[in-house]
Structure 1
Amino acid sequence: MRIEDLNYFIAVAETGHVGRASQRLGQSQPALTKGIQRLERELKLQLFERTARGMELTTAGTAFFQRARHVRVSLDDAIKEANDLHLGKKGLVRVGVAPTYSEMFFGQACAELLRQRPAARVQVMIGLNDQLLAALQFGDLDIAISALPAHETPEFTQLPLFRDDIHVVARADHPMLESTSLRLKDLADASWVLPGRNVAARRSLEARFAEHGLPEPNVVVESNSSVTALASVVRTTDLLSVIPASVLSRPQGTGLKPLALAQAVWPRTIGISMRKAAYLSPLAERLVELLKAHGPV
């Protein structure tokens, strides 16, 4: 089996289209088509259904894709390890970090790493939890810095760093802050600025409403990133939002206050996620050490 054929198959499976896969890989469409046909002959399996819309994996193709993706990641790890040895432990580290922690936490450790390893290169992906963990699982990242899942997962090793609870917040002179009998139902009657449905903080809020038989939050403004960037909207309206405690103590949190309601707080731990049994370069290991040493600032 040729490595390039495996790469062609994975690219077509991920894009669902030979044309898009050829653009991604910088190869001609006929080359990809021949490679996939060659792979199907060797496996004696039909991997794709050719349709008018593109290429759809068969049942056998889906199973092979799951295995092939892990093989590709393991091979990439082996190549990186060999390169590290060849380059004398210099090289590249690929880091994913949640927007809230890119400046206030990761930036300090990254700067220190570059002082200690001047030849190092760092690729940084800023994204929300679901994006980072997906990229980590696919082998596009070496480590991810974000909120850790409440339960251990079979794919990742998790290293807790610090606690940063999520709070429901409002502008400093919001009427709800004056209430002495605030209830969760009052929050359900309000309007919100929230991240997308795939973000853990929003899922936690919706789950708590559902537990108490309340409707989903009325989302007036929805963000595809951290709602910290939209703090000014919360600061100047009656809208509620969810923000980490660390943001409330920084300039971005000026003019915002957490609601005095126990049900409007979600415990959360920020940490480092790594793929289990994956190769971690000496450079990445050093970055992990620096992150552990720096702590939140």
Structure 2
Amino acid sequence: MRLENLRYFLAVADESSVGRAAHRLGVTQPALTKGIQRLEQDLGLPLFERSAKGMTLTRVGASFLERVHLIALAMDDVVREANDIRVGQAGKLRVGVAPQFADELFSPACADLIAQRPGARLEVHTHLNDALFDMLRRGDLDLCIAGLEDRAHAEMEQIPLFPDEMCVGLRAGHPILSRPNLSFRDIAAERWILPGRSVVARRRLDERVAELGLPPVNVVIEWSASIGHRLNLVRNTDLLTVLSLRLVRSEAGRGLTSVPLEQAVWIRQVGIAHRKGAYLSPLAHRLIEILLEHSLHS
């Protein structure tokens, strides 16, 4: 079984199209088609259903995909480890950073890393944590810095850096703040702008609402873009959102405040995540050490 055929299979499974997969890999469509056919002959099983709409995985193909993806990640790790051995401490590190931790946490640590490892190269992606975790699982990132899951994760190792208080954020002067005997039921009934349900901060809010036996909050805008866009809308409307309390108190949180209710504040852990069992380069290990050092003094 040839490795290039496995890569062809992964690309077609991802693109659902031979043409798009061939373009992505820089090969001809006939070469890719022959590769898939060889793979199916080796296995003695059909991996795709062909139709005018494209290529759809069979039930066997979907099961095979999970295994092949792990093989591809392992091969990438082997190649990267060999390159790191060849070039020593230099190399390329792929890091994902949630927007709210880019300036105060990652940038100073990155500056230290570059000063200590002048030959290093970094590829940095800034997204919310759901997108970062997806990239991590696919092997597109080596590390990500974000709010962590509360529970142990089957696919990821998590290294806590510091606790972060989350709160319900709103504009200063919001009418609800003058309401007597304000309760969580009152704020839950307001209109909200929130990231998608797969974002850790959103899930924490949904869990708190469920714990209190309340109906789901009224989400009028679901927006998983940069947090800056959300802040601007909250600042200029009566929408509520969920934010880091340190962000509300920073310059970026100008014009915003938090709901003064104990139930509207909760703790999450901020930290580093990487794929369980994945190869981490010396560069990755050094960045982790620097981040841990910075978190001790933050």
Moved more, 210-219 or 179-188: 210-219
Partner of residue 155, structure 1: 155
Alignment of 1:246-261 (within 5 A): 246-261=246-261
Alignment of 1:81-120 (within 5 A): 81-120=81-120
Partner of residue 202, structure 1: 202
Deviations 1:255-294 (A, max 9, x none): 2111111221231000001111111000111111111111
Partner-residue secondary structure (3-state), 2:149: coil
Partner-residue secondary structure (3-state), 1:224: coil
TM-score, normalisation: structure 1: 0.95
> What CA distance in whole angstroms lies between the structure 2 residues aligned with 1:197 and 1:94?
26
Deviation at 1:156, TM superposition (A): 1.1
Moved more, 205-214 or 137-146: 205-214
Deviation at 1:2, TM superposition (A): 1.1
> What CA distance in whole angstroms lies between the structure 1 residues aligned with 2:147 and 2:232?
24
Partner-residue secondary structure (3-state), 1:165: strand
Alignment of 1:116-131 (within 5 A): 116-131=116-131
Partner of residue 49, structure 2: 49
Deviation at 1:172, TM superposition (A): 1.7
TM-score, normalisation: structure 2: 0.94
Deviation at 1:196, TM superposition (A): 2.2
Deviation at 1:92, TM superposition (A): 0.5
Partner of residue 34, structure 1: 34
> What CA distance in whole angstroms lies between the structure 2 residues aligned with 1:264 and 1:226?
23
- Residues 1:215 and 2:215 aligned together: yes
Partner-residue secondary structure (3-state), 2:89: coil
> What CA distance in whole angstroms lies between the structure 1 residues aligned with 2:56 and 2:236?
48
What is the number of equivalent residue pairs in this alignment?
297
> What stretches of structure 1 move > 4 A for 4+ residues in a row?
none
> What CA distance in whole angstroms lies between the structure 1 residues aligned with 2:231 and 2:160?
27
Moved more, 203-212 or 1-10: 203-212
CA contact (8 A) 1:143 1:273 kept: yes
> What CA distance in whole angstroms lies between the structure 1 residues aligned with 2:90 and 2:119?
6
> What CA distance in whole angstroms lies between the structure 2 residues aligned with 1:56 and 1:3?
21
Residues 208 and 258 of structure 1: CA distance in aligned 2, closer, same or farther (over 3 Å): same
> What CA distance in whole angstroms lies between the structure 2 residues aligned with 1:227 and 1:192?
14
Deviations 1:127-148 (A, max 9, x none): 1111111111111111111111
Partner of residue 170, structure 1: 170
> What CA distance in whole angstroms lies between the structure 2 residues aligned with 1:125 and 1:283?
17
Deviation at 1:17, TM superposition (A): 1.3
Deviations 1:15-74 (A, max 9, x none): 111111112111111111110000111111111111221111111111111011001000
Deviation at 1:180, TM superposition (A): 4.2
Partner of residue 14, structure 1: 14
Deviation at 1:213, TM superposition (A): 4.1
Unaligned runs of 5+ in 2: none
Unaligned runs of 5+ in 1: none
